[in-house]
Amino acid sequence: MVDSDQVFVFPSCQASLVDVPLASSKQIINRSVNLLAGLVQLTIRQYAKNDDVNIKSYYLPEDQAIYTSLPPSVVESSLLDESQIPFVIYSADHLVGCFALHTHQAKMYGIENPHALLLKSFSIDARHQKRGYALKTLQSLPALAKQLFPDTNELVLTVHHTNIPAQQLYMKACFEDKGMRFEGEYGEELIFHYSLV
């Protein structure tokens, strides 16, 4: 079981002065201040009861919500299934995202690997989208998974065949579409993989 007191903090931007092209001293100082001002940390941790207030105000428009479970459902499901562990993503004091890791459900999707960890219900609150939080979270997942579940050697997720933006995001985060498919409740789901070995 995951220690619910563990908190993982990941910088969402890793720009440094080295990234700034040579220019006048004034331009470099102005650019570095903007880069440093834009440096925001993400905190990814297991859901706790005190997150309920923020979870109740979580927002996804209907055209996005059809592809995922909203955080209240994720939390409710985890109460019925101890292999589902809900996580929250914060930037400062703002809940910006949510997801669940399932320790024993990858086989439901035809994954034979007993050490695969299933990522489900990943979303970013619509008010916090387009800030890089989704990509940074996905890029942080391999380290988080290995730290919490040392035997894990693969991350797996499913994405609806019509959810092109999500597919592009997962590929950008180095998840692979190996051609596996699953017939979900609402149509074909693509199965994406990320090897941890």
* Terminal Cα distance for the chain, rounded: 22
pTM of the predicted structure, to 2 decimals: 0.76
Contact 175, 143 (CB under 8 A): no
What would the pLDDT profile of 33-63 be if each residue is shown by its tens digit? 222 334 568 899 999 999 999 999 988 878 7
Pairwise CA distance, residues 26 & 91, whole Å: 30
Pairwise CA distance, residues 27 & 160, whole Å: 45
- Asked whether residue 170 is domain-assigned, the answer is yes
What would the pLDDT profile of 64-115 be if each residue is shown by its tens digit? 877 778 888 888 888 888 888 999 999 988 999 999 998 876 666 777 788 8
- Asked whether residue 9 is domain-assigned, the answer is no
- Asked whether residue 116 is domain-assigned, the answer is yes
- Asked whether residue 13 is domain-assigned, the answer is no
Domain CATH code at residue 50: 3.40.630.30
